[in-house]
Homo-oligomer: A and B are copies of this chain.
Amino acid sequence: MYSTILRYSNSEFIMLETHTEERTHGSCNKMLLPVSDALYVLSGKWKIPIIIALTFGNKRFGQISKEIPKITDRMLAKELRELELNQLVSRKVYDTIPVTVEYTLTDYGATLQPVIEELAKWGFHHRERMFGETQK
């Protein structure tokens, strides 16, 4: 399903890089490409919620499912698979009955924290600006 290329980035913006002659500002591309890479890895409705959930400790499938209201099993399984492919999350199977599976944010996944914090900081100010009230 995910080729080596797709695993780390989408192809659209790789292509952008090869067409620099069409852009006036080279530095523009230098930002666009990595930003697109980052957003691609975080793409979809559930990856950030899952990552945030795992920053508060290792969790099992069922626990994550309970902590993220409205996510379906299918989506959770799919997103965890993608996060594992990108080495942001690791999966450990325990030989219990029934089998339990523990998901952990990898050290690499933890490097996303500054990104998420910056997004949170901006989102927080945006909310203040739009509503003029502080989030409790």
Q: In whole angstroms, what is the CA distance A131 to B7 when docked?
A: 11
Main secondary structure of the interface of A (DSSP, over half): helix
Copies of this chain assembled into the complex: 2
Q: In whole angstroms, what is the CA distance A12 to B75 when docked?
A: 15
Chain B nearest CB: distance from A81 CB in Å?
17
List 7 A–B pairs whose Cβ atoms lie within 8 Å, in order of A's numbering: A12-B45, A34-B122, A35-B48, A36-B123, A38-B120, A39-B119, A115-B118
A interface residues with partner B (beta carbon < 8 Å):
7-9, 12, 15-16, 19, 22-25, 27-28, 30-39, 41-42, 45, 48-49, 52-53, 56, 66-67, 69-70, 108, 111-112, 114-127, 129-131, 135
